Structure 1
Amino acid sequence: MIERIYLDETGNTLPYRNLAREACLLEAVGVGECILYLWQNQRTVVIGRNQNAWKECRMEQLEADGGHLVRRLSGGGAVYHDLGNLNFTFLVREEDYDVSRQLEVLVGAVNRLGIHAEKTGRNDVTVDGRKISGNAFYRADGHCYHHGTILIDVDKASLSAYLNVSAAKLRSKGVDSVKARVANLTDFRPGVTVEQVRQALAGAFGEVYGLSPERFPEERLDRAVLSRQEETFRSWDWRFGRKIPFTSELSERYDWGEVCLQFAVNGGIVTDVQAYSDAMDQELVAALPGLLKGCRYGGAPLAEAVGQLPQPDSGAERMVQDLQRLLVERCTG
């Protein structure tokens, strides 16, 4: 039961530092507490935990324009941030995690601005069928967060220029460009500001939880740990991962997301694997390489290995079944 709520805000716009603070707040949150962290990044592409940076982002153009690419802890797809965006993170212990309540804060905040919003799909908040907020989720060691972005007056030309969204994903949303799928709050209420959205979120946060938000005590964050986390998020290894000299690649899109499996095969044995996906279940995707490496390259043995994945709910069960079907149908030794 949430007994205390905290509001944490930062004027910093460097993405590595903001993600480091988010990670440290996740460790710091106590039982019965909920932290709402509000933050902004300048000219940044943020990719999901298991995505392929080179496929999701037009890196040369982003870097030429002085932008940043970062990889977050959570799963899901790539998003673009600039100062027309306001990012939020709800951080709680697992026993206090309530996504529906957290989404109620987002919808309530937008409604406070005189704009009718609703939760749709697997992780979106929309207005008139257009996406104004995407959400992603992360759990680790009994701590959880739910984070995302609210598009207020984002530069949609830059969003289209830097994000390389697959045609299959756009077709699944019934649009022909990422720009057509998303909307700014200013499209529905011209002149609305980031500060007004901040205030609306703080008000809705207190209203939904029935408590008055307090400022999160800065002394509860370890400065040395913050610095180490920032270096991790800034590092090449974290942002880009590793490339393998793959000999086989399988790609498919499902209603839970896209998946791409790359196999390096020697003598009929899988010697290395990379798994890329915008699926929300980042842990399941991250576990695939460890299960598939060392298997005989063929549909049946690879599908059998995937069957060892934990399937705690119907969503995970469906993902496993789809992956097994893909391997059986498309993997031939």
Structure 2
Amino acid sequence: MIPIVNTSHDPHFNLALEEYAVRYLDPAHNYLILWQNSPAVIIGRYQNTAEEVHQLYLAEHQIAVVRRLSGGGAVYHDMGNLNFSLIVSTQGQSFNDFRSFTLPVIETLAHYGVKAELSSRNDITIEGQKFSGNAQYRTAHHLLHHGTILFDSDLDVVSQVLNVRQDKIASKGIKSVRSRVTNIKPYLPKDVTLEAFSATLATIIGSHNQGLEPAYAWSPQDQAAVMDLVARRYGTWDWNWGKSPAFNLTAHEKFAQGSIDVRLFVEDGIIHACRIYGDFLGQRDIHEFEAALIQQRYQLDTVAPILEALPIEEYFGAISRQEVLQVLFDTSPAQ
């Protein structure tokens, strides 16, 4: 197995690197990538991005959103999270065989005296709490298996950014199933760093794959091809947001100055219908406000400047712009 050394922490680049490896590297070889992302939410291939994340929280904390090739649910990455990617030949390899790919992780923890187990089709747990989610993607010649390992991630952020009121959005997107999660650091000997754990994991993965060969010789052409994938796919709104399934959003909030009830229909990430009801004390026809949102991206970065340019107090009375955004992007956490 050939290690690919990746020191990038850019989630757009890192997801593009995975696709480049699984599609274009020599299928006669298997590859291993161990990598970390700066704060980001990684969305499953068939998910509705707006249904999975709090957009206002993302913007406030500068957390990126990137869609991956594989299915499954949304996950939060930060520098306390270790990701592992295995790119192997499809010859004789069964798709959805998660056990053989997760066994090295379980053995690595056993090496440090920690008992872990594959508790479902694609999750690894310690004492019933999930620390690793896994997913796969297949091309004609390569199978990509990738997984997360919560080493010392900020679990408070996980609960904030992914704790969404899904009952208010109706779509055909694959919903994430929230599980009790844990970091593995509290279970490990105190002197085990993420770097040491990563090195042990690489060695054990290699032992399952006839050993580790010298690292992949990264070329300028490889770098350029990955950056091209970032430009064409992973860095674009169309891929990360626009590929979401169509959905209807119903949101209601009551403020001291009145209530707002919003109904949106969003398709390909674009607002196609908008109706707003409530007992707010506006002076202007609310249909003017609704019309300003039609054919706009359902994205905070797009809608917020539109609201800045509108006389909000004439439409909603004493209800503020920030409160209107709160309803439109439904930032209230699930209970």
TM range (shorter): 0.5 to 0.7
For 1:157-172, list aligned pairs within 5 A: 157-164=156-163
User: What's the counterpart of residue 235 of structure 1?
Assistant: 236
Of the three residues 90, 110, 120, the one matched with 2:86 is 90
| 9, 12, 25: which one aligns with 1:13 | 9
Kindly indicate whether residue 23 of structure 2 is the aligned counterpart of residue 23 of structure 1.
no
Q: Which residue of 1 aligns with 2:121?
A: 122
Q: What pairs with 1:73-222 in structure 2 (closer than 5 Å)?
A: 73-95=69-91, 97=93, 99=97, 100-164=99-163, 178=178, 181-189=180-188, 191=190, 192-219=192-219, 222=222
Read off the aligned partner of 1:55 and give its amino acid letter: E
Contact 1:119 1:126 in 2 (8 A): yes
Q: Which letter does structure 1 place at the counterpart of 2:128?
A: G
Q: Report if the CA contact (8 A) 1:69-1:239 is conserved.
A: yes
- Deviation per CA, 1:32-57: give whole Å up to 9, x if none: 42211111111100010011111101
Q: Give the letter for the 1:28 counterpart.
A: Y
**Deviation per residue, 1:267-302 (Å, 9 max, x gap):** xxxxx9xxxxxxxxxxxxxxxxxxxxxxxxxxxxxx
Deviation, structure 1 residue 227:
1.4
8 A Cα contact 2:42 2:67, kept in partner: yes
Q: Is the 8 A contact 2:123 2:130 kept in 1?
A: yes
Larger C-alpha radius of gyration, 1 or 2?
A: 2
**TM value normalised by structure 1:** 0.65
Change (3 A) 1:224 1:126: same
Would you say the 8 A contact 1:29–1:91 is kept in 2? no
1:189 and 1:64 mapped to 2: Cα distance? 33
Code of the aligned partner of 2:235: R
For residues 248 and 162 of structure 1, the distance between their equivalents in structure 2, rounded to whole angstroms, comes to 18
* Alpha-carbon RMSD: 2.8
How far off is 1:213 after superposition? 3.6
Separation in structure 2 between the aligned mates of residue 86 and residue 153 of structure 1, nearest angstrom: 9
CA–CA distance in 2 between the matches of 1:59 and 1:10?
29
Alignment length, in residue pairs? 240
Which residue in the other structure is 1:48 paired with?
Answer: 44
Q: CA deviation at 1:245?
A: 7.5
Give the SS at the match of 1:201: helix
Residue 240 and residue 65 in structure 1: after superposition, are their counterparts in 2 closer, same or farther (change >3 A)?
A: same
Provide structure 2 residue ranges, at least 5 long, that are not aligned to the other structure: 168-176, 251-264, 273-335
Give yes or no for contact 2:54–2:164 (8 Å, CA) kept in 1.
Answer: no
SS in 2 for 1:18: helix
Change (3 A) 1:105 1:221: farther
Which string of whole-angstrom CA distances, capped at 9 and with x for unpartnered residues, describes residues 183-214 of structure 1?
10113126332102211111111222232342
Q: In 1, distance between residues paired with 2:41 and 2:117?
A: 25
In 1, the alpha carbon distance for the partners of 2:186 and 2:164 equals 22
- Runs of 4 or more consecutive aligned structure 1 residues displaced over 4 Å after TM superposition: 165-168, 242-249
TM-score (norm 2): 0.65
Q: 1:62 to 1:17 in 2, by over 3 A?
A: same
C-alpha separation between the residues in 2 aligned to 1:195 and 1:55?
Answer: 34
- Between Structure 1 and Structure 2, the one with more helix by share is 1
Where in structure 1 are there 5+ consecutive unaligned residues? 169-176, 250-261, 265-271, 273-333
2: CA distance, partners of 1:58 / 1:45: 10
Q: 1:57 to 1:211 in 2, by over 3 A?
A: same
1:246–1:124 CA distance, 2 compared to 1 (3 A): closer
Q: CA distance change for structure 1 residues 227 and 248 in 2, over 3 Å: closer, same or farther?
A: closer
Greater shift in the superposed pair: 128-137 or 218-227: 218-227
- Residues 30, 93 of structure 1: 8 Å contact kept: no
SS at match of 1:33: coil
Q: Residues 24 and 220 of structure 1: is their aligned pair in 2 closer, same or farther, counting only changes over 3 Å?
A: farther
